[in-house]
Structure 1
């Protein structure tokens, strides 16, 4: 945990790291994430500086039951998939995703340039994540760990 100011670029980054099992894990291989909130020991909410290479996605299309999310585009032109709609975003654009609505979302980089954005979310315990396009379900345990199963609750 750090309590001093830092350059975001100095925070360690992970490329393509995910809790998704295969065949889903490979879908985020072009995502580079710096967990700024974790770096500073934040426990109430998370903040990530995320870069998407051309062709990369932010995550599988998903919706949360309890945790709100927010994104702010810094560089590039990602496509936001929001429910059945698509929106072309530009630097300075933002969007919030209210928990419990069931409206799934995902960012896709369909451009030839890297996309950079901030993603923020609260860490409300007991969250469940639905992935409408995939046979995947995520359930958060009391200690904050995630359990990933098929939609019929079979383990991966």
Structure 2
């Protein structure tokens, strides 16, 4: 009796949810991912983590759409946040999410830094809110640059 390979999961578009920025693009997955990494560097931040199931699934003989989580941060933000809330640092790096769509285009999504750090505001106050707002600006600039045709 033949054993069937697991079927690839259906592509589910990222839908609107609180605290998320979701940007459709006309770029393919590889191009958007490369442009994201370049935009991160241009904003003075660094890619500190990357993870995605696509390559590991392919090694197992399963084809799934492109899917990559890219963690972004910088040490100056880390030091500043640590001075305000040790617990808040569990949220670093803050992540961008690049997903491949059925039509071959890709989507760029992320939770805003303000949304990510909101649970720590009662402990860390307005100084953390200000850091998060600066990160919001940087993340928006990264997204704008990465999405530019």
- Structure possessing the higher radius of gyration over alpha carbons: 2
Structure with the higher fraction of residues in helix conformation: 2
Higher relative CO (CA 8 A, sep ≥ 6), structure 1 or 2?
A: 2
After TM superposition, the score normalised by the length of structure 2 is 0.27
After TM superposition, the score normalised by the length of structure 1 is 0.26
Structure with the higher fraction of residues in strand conformation: 1
